[in-house]
Amino acid sequence: MLELKDFEAAYNKVQEVVLPTKLIKSEYFSNQTGNDVYLKPENMQLTGAYKIRGAYYKISTLSEEEKAKGLITASAGNHAQGVALAAARQGVKATIVMPTTTPLLKVNRTKDLGAEVILHGDVYDEACAHALDLAAEHGYTFVHPFDDPTVATGQGTIAMDIFKELPTVDYILVPIGGGGLATGVSTLAKLLNPKIKVIGVEPAGAACMKASLEAGKVVSCDHVSTIADGTAVQTPGKIIFPYVQENLDDIITVEDEELIPCFLDLLENHKMLAENSGLLTIAALKHLDVKNKKVVSIISGGNMDVITIASLVQHGLIMRDRIFTVSVFLPDKPGELTRVSQVIAETQGNIVKLEHNQFVSINRNSAVELTITMEAFGSEHKNKIIKALKKAGYDPKIRNSKSVY
């Protein structure tokens, strides 16, 4: 069993490589939830995620013979970068197998850190199976991203950080993919204070740990589908599962749609970029049925490519009614476009895009379709613009704004 001395040893060791990620008190999320919410920004680590902790500690415990064989692992990205950096710091060759769906940013950063990258499979589990085959074939030492108590101990040093800053913490929210982070954080938290509640958070499209806890044994999800790629795991760790069973108090599942507005909230209110898996604990705040508690949300990582960032911003603005699209019909004659634009301008709407379709009807004098995408301040302002268009004699129809640009 993992003991306090194990975590203390890991904590001292990882200080050689981790950056201090001090808790951030969030007035915005505190006001939203009625709790004192603190963010633990592990997205600010050197590799952009907490994974450097477990990787560095694990490699430090390997024998010289194990290191000489070279390391191999499988990862959706963050563990890959952690192993790559930790191996480079300790002079060990590393090979990383990553799913083909891994964001390009994570692939390139892993290569830049000196590791050899092999892309294989659509999800982590397929990449892992291939990595194990290569380990058997070439004699590499396999460093599991989560199903390893030593790795989990390194990840659990996050809980030590939290307690040093906030010893009176009531709840810790921790993302779950395979369960390594949840194992380390929950085990150490309970060792330090058994009254602490540690809640795991999984994407609903990859809730393998929740299913396993309900079944009382490790089970696999038939299918994984989530934008939280860092937690897109089909089967949780078998070795660490008993720790999760004993120390995790509950699991909250989060739909992908809930992550999108959280991205905007974190970016706008804290100027902080978090990847979708890192946003799980932010989305879970509204599911936590408590008040006046000290709650820490672990932001596990912030590695996201620019295309994904742009997509999240766009979809988040649409979900918040800060960008919306309407269509109106008007006669095809001079001045009509100006008239519509004037109505929108008077209500402080900002037009982003116009589409003028003259061919929607044979009778161009009475049925030219104008599709308008515009910015608003939110739902109340959107409704004000719609009301103004109706008052001006138009019949605006809300369109599904899947794409703005």
Kindly report the average pLDDT of the chain as a whole number. 92
Statement to judge: residues 207 and 297 lie in one domain: yes
For residues 94-118, give the mean pLDDT: 90
Statement to judge: residues 35 and 118 lie in one domain: no
The domain that contains 137 carries what CATH number?
Answer: 3.40.50.1100
Sheet with 94-98: strands ordered across: 116-119, 94-98, 71-74, 141-142
Note the pLDDT tens digit of each residue in 196-219: 999 999 999 999 999 999 999 999
Note the pLDDT tens digit of each residue in 344-366: 999 999 999 888 776 666 555 55
Answer yes or no: is pLDDT of 368 > 90: no
Note the pLDDT tens digit of each residue in 55-77: 999 999 999 999 999 999 998 77
d(CA 82, CA 143): 11
Inside any domain, residue 148: no
pLDDT of the residue at 166: 98
More confident: 270 or 124: 270
Using the Cα atoms of residue 66, residue 67, residue 73 and residue 75 in order, give the sign of their dihedral. Answer: positive
Statement to judge: residues 311 and 345 lie in one domain: no
Inside any domain, residue 404: no
Tell which of 289, 316, 343 closes a domain. Answer: 316
Statement to judge: residues 228 and 306 lie in one domain: yes
51 is catalytic: yes
Identity of the highest mean pLDDT range in 14-18, 338-342, 357-361, 395-399:
14-18
Find out whether 188 and 161 touch, Cβ atoms under 8 Å.
Answer: no
Tell me which of 60, 297, 300, 401 is the catalytic residue. 300
Inside any domain, residue 171: yes
pLDDT of the residue at 230: 85
Statement to judge: residues 91 and 192 lie in one domain: no
Inside any domain, residue 83: yes
Tell me which of 13, 26, 40, 51 is the catalytic residue. 51
342-345 contacts, C-beta under 8 A, 24 or more apart: 343/388, 343/389, 343/392, 343/394, 344/372, 344/374, 344/385, 344/388, 344/389
The domain that contains 354 carries what CATH number?
Answer: 3.30.70.260
**Taking the complete model, does pTM exceed 0.85, yes or no?**
yes
Find out whether 271 and 284 touch, Cβ atoms under 8 Å.
Answer: no
217 is catalytic: no
DSSP 110-162: HHHTT-EEEE--SSHHHHHHHHHHHHHHH-PEE--SSS-HHHHHHHTHHHHHH
Could you give the 3-state DSSP secondary structure of residue 227? Answer: coil
Answer yes or no: is pLDDT of 121 > 70: yes
For residues 75-103, give the mean pLDDT: 90
Statement to judge: residues 363 and 332 lie in one domain: yes
Q: Which domain holds residue 36?
A: 4-48+153-316
- Domains in the chain, number: 3
Statement to judge: residues 175 and 286 lie in one domain: yes
Tell which of 142, 166, 193 closes a domain. Answer: 142
Statement to judge: residues 129 and 160 lie in one domain: no
Statement to judge: residues 35 and 172 lie in one domain: yes
Token pair for residue 65?
A: 């013979």
- Cross-strand partners of 371: 327, 355
Tell which of 100, 116, 142 closes a domain. Answer: 142
**Which residue reads 């603190």 in tokens?**
38
Statement to judge: residues 277 and 290 lie in one domain: yes
pLDDT of the residue at 404: 45
Length of the chain: 405
pLDDT of the residue at 362: 56
Provide the terminal-to-terminal Cα distance of the chain, rounded to the nearest Å: 55
Beta-sheet pairing, 171-175 with 294-299: parallel
Statement to judge: residues 215 and 260 lie in one domain: yes
Statement to judge: residues 211 and 72 lie in one domain: no
Q: For residue 72, what is the enclosing H or E element?
A: strand 71-74
